[in-house]
């Protein structure tokens, strides 16, 4: 099932009166691991694991599926250029806009209701795969792409797109996580309908309280070992730091790779 048919099915009760199972958020205060750079055994004590949509969920753990909801994944560049060129955000000269920090990721155009619908339809197959594999939740990355759009997109454009993603996820029985974008935390929880938040370096940027104020203990924070002071010990001692905080290497390397870092508060 793909496209608009999938989107409609995800938001419609199943035949015979059944509905998708309720989307459950991750356990409060659980130790978690962020494994986007490669899957590995999370070890004892880790209850929540985030992996890329191309990976399998971690057996016996609450598993979150990473989906790039507002930009393209590098390996999907050709598919988007071939199948959905009009859904890629372009500048005045017609050049596709990319993320300056990740130049192999192209920005998706969420500027109109029609484009928002079609963007979600184009990504829906990936979300369906997450559900079919047995993931419990999905995180939609790059909610803040509007900040890199040169004014072509607004926060409202992406918030409206996010609402559609949340409806899609919930229709498939998946919880939905806000990814970063502290300025939209209140909107994300109360209006968009995200169930929890996955954030990067909220301690480094003094943003943790903005998330915990609205999501409570359902915030998963990733700090990076190459970040500046404070030390991870100081981060963990800070009352604003979420209980579910992990220290990782910037590349999110697998456990057997040189340079792998993982520690927990």
pLDDT in tens, 5-60: 434 444 433 334 455 677 899 999 999 999 999 999 999 999 999 999 999 999 99
Q: How far apart (Å, rounded) are the C-alpha atoms in residues 108 and 41?
A: 34
Predicted local confidence at residue 54, as pLDDT: 97
* 86 has a pLDDT exceeding 90: yes
Residue 89 vs residues 72, 79, 121, 153: alpha-carbon distances, Å: 11, 15, 17, 9
Predicted local confidence at residue 30, as pLDDT: 95
Q: What is the CA radius of gyration of the chain?
A: 18
Nearest one of 126, 229, 234 to 174, comparing CA atoms: 126
Domain ranges of the chain: 33-264
Predicted local confidence at residue 19, as pLDDT: 59
pLDDT digit string (tens) for 222-243? 999 997 778 999 999 999 999 9
Q: How far apart (Å, rounded) are the C-alpha atoms in residues 208 and 220?
A: 10
Alpha helices in the chain (DSSP H): 3-10, 77-83, 113-133, 155-171, 185-187, 208-215, 232-237
Specify the pairing of strand 196-200 against strand 175-179: parallel
pLDDT over 90, % of the chain: 90
pTM of the predicted protein model: 0.91
Predicted local confidence at residue 228, as pLDDT: 79
pLDDT digit string (tens) for 170-202? 999 999 999 999 999 999 999 999 999 999 999
How many C-alpha atoms does 145 have within 13 Å on its Cβ side? Answer: 30
Residue 72 vs residues 145, 191, 226: alpha-carbon distances, Å: 11, 25, 26
Fold classified for 33-264: TIM Barrel (3.20.20)
Predicted local confidence at residue 22, as pLDDT: 74
């Amino acid at each position: 099932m793909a496209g608009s048919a999938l989107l409609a099915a995800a938001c419609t009760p199943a035949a015979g009166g059944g509905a998708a199972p309720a989307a459950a958020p991750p356990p409060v205060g659980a130790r978690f691991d962020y494994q986007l750079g490669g899957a590995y055994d999370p070890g004892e004590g880790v209850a929540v694991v985030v992996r890329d949509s191309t990976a399998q969920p971690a057996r016996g753990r609450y598993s979150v599926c990473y989906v790039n909801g507002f930009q393209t994944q590098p390996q999907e560049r050709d598919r988007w250029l071939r199948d959905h060129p009009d859904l890629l955000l372009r500048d005045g000269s017609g050049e596709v806009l990319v993320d300056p920090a990740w130049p192999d990721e192209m920005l998706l155009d969420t500027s109109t209701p029609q484009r928002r619908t079609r963007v979600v339809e184009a990504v829906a197959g990936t979300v369906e795969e997450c559900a079919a594999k047995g993931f419990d939740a999905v995180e939609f990355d790059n909610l803040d792409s509007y900040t890199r759009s040169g004014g072509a997109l607004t926060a409202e454009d992406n918030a409206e797109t996010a609402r559609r993603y949340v409806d899609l996820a919930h229709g498939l029985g998946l919880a939905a996580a806000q990814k970063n974008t502290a300025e939209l935390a209140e909107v994300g929880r109360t209006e968009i309908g995200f169930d929890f938040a996955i954030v990067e370096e909220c301690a480094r940027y003094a943003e943790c309280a903005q998330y915990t104020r609205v999501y409570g203990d359902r915030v998963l924070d990733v700090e990076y070992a190459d970040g500046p002071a404070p030390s991870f010990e100081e981060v963990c001692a800070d009352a604003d730091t979420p209980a579910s905080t992990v220290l990782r290497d910037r590349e999110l390397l697998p456990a057997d790779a040189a340079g792998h870092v993982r520690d927990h508060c």
